[in-house]
Chain A
């Protein structure tokens, strides 16, 4: 929670302020097949919410702000990303 003197100056905060996540608005979830990823970073470049982290061998996802727009899936040249419906059997299988 913010302090009173921060609240008094208005909703203007130094970055990174990530107090309100929007991932729960998502209906579709991108899932990554790490075996197919060659770390080309197209997804990292195109994601409008900055959900992809650069790592040594393959990207990783932080879905706190992912709205499931599917841009990463469309841009991935190796079909390493796919969308699954949240709450579907596919999603549940992936969660195991």
Chain B
């Protein structure tokens, strides 16, 4: 069935189709309409779930954690300050290997106070042990939530998943979404039956205390599970494609990267704009491509290396900033390519932009490509190839809304 849905409605629809049994969340813009829609589904009887009202995001995730360890399929959603408030519980959930699914409607962090999109909230939770999948469209938000339940609960993964969607740009923007049939989703996602759960007849302690002789072993296997998730994410995407006819590339989503001299790497909805810019530049004969990173954690090092190895300049656009260094994704791409240890490793030029909902316009992305192509020409002439600063076509926003990091 085709429906006209925004990103948040698409997420709520996925949660209904996944037959989530417990939902606990605290309202926060721009996430609120996800759980408001779920509350409507529960109220009108189209979803059989318990909705737990809580006093904070910390309590919301704690309630979901408690519900999940009884063997129920659970959902929550948050954003920005709410995600920051969950920080402690994020580690409990991932450390106890509870396969929760949470939508994060990405929004910048205060101060200054903002409600608009960037990735700083989720990026700041990079090392919480959660899988982070960033989506480009409302359709992908729906499909990825369904995939996320399968990935998280895979017996070799047992790791919670954040489905990250850009605030407003996706959360509040309608598009035509193909809503899968319940019967098909039931085939893809059978009822959640964990190997073990809280059972008064056989008491179990979740999150034991572990001394130095035991703690590292749990962390070692948690890390191994996250690395294993790279294959599972790809497998699940393939399985989803076979059933529903849609695939997102699993870990990475390359667009015209074969033979490209310059590839732009980014996450989230900006990819939609970037595809148009790539199309336009390709029509003018420029060898440019786009690599949308879908899985930020686990970080798909091998997939990135294989796509980016033959390029001359890799531009990275971060909607986040590690203050005092650079955009986080830029650092990670550099590290991934450095480790490849192949001759002719491309130059990586990191740009930070789109913070706090500032627009990333086609001309901004065209400006990034232009700077990088100029660097390629210099490199071809045997000159220093370094990408120079400033990237706005009209110069208006140069250095303020978008900068070379």
Interface of chain B, main secondary structure: loop
Measured in the bound complex, the distance between the Cα atoms of B50 and A53 in whole Å is 41
Measured in the bound complex, the distance between the Cα atoms of B199 and A49 in whole Å is 22
Residue among A4, A7, A12, A19 facing the most chain B CB atoms (10 A cut-off): A12
Contact status B158-A9, CB under 8 Å: yes
Contact status A2-B217, CB under 8 Å: yes
Contact status A10-B158, CB under 8 Å: yes
Measured in the bound complex, the distance between the Cα atoms of B204 and A7 in whole Å is 15
Contact status B221-A15, CB under 8 Å: no
With contact pairs A2-B217, A17-B205 given, residues A11 and B225 touching in the complex (Cβ less than 8 Å): no
Contact status A10-B97, CB under 8 Å: yes
With contact pairs A13-B205, A15-B205 given, residues A8 and B214 touching in the complex (Cβ less than 8 Å): no
Contact status A12-B217, CB under 8 Å: no
- A interface size (C-beta, 8 A): 15
Interface residues of A in 1-33 (CB under 8 A from B): 2, 4, 7-15, 17, 19-20, 22
With contact pairs A2-B214, A7-B217, A19-B214 given, residues A13 and B208 touching in the complex (Cβ less than 8 Å): yes
Measured in the bound complex, the distance between the Cα atoms of B221 and A9 in whole Å is 8
Contact status B217-A20, CB under 8 Å: no
Contact status A10-B218, CB under 8 Å: yes
Contact with A along B203-230 (1 / 0, CB 8 A): 1111111110010011011101100000
Contact status A11-B204, CB under 8 Å: no
CB neighbours of B97 from chain A (8 A): 9-10, 12
Using a CB–CB distance below 8 Å, which chain B residues touch chain A?
A: 69, 95-98, 158, 195-196, 202-211, 214, 217-218, 220-222, 224-225
| Known contacts A7-B221, A20-B210, then 16 further A-B pairs from the complex at CB < 8 Å, ordered by chain A residue | A2-B214, A8-B224, A9-B158, A9-B195, A10-B96, A10-B218, A10-B222, A11-B95, A11-B96, A11-B218, A12-B196, A13-B205, A14-B202, A14-B205, A15-B203, A17-B205
Using a CB–CB distance below 8 Å, which chain A residues touch chain B?
A: 2, 4, 7-15, 17, 19-20, 22
18 A-B contacts (beta carbon < 8 Å): A7-B220, A7-B221, A8-B221, A8-B225, A9-B97, A10-B95, A11-B207, A11-B208, A12-B96, A12-B206, A14-B202, A14-B203, A15-B204, A19-B210, A19-B211, A19-B214, A20-B211, A22-B209
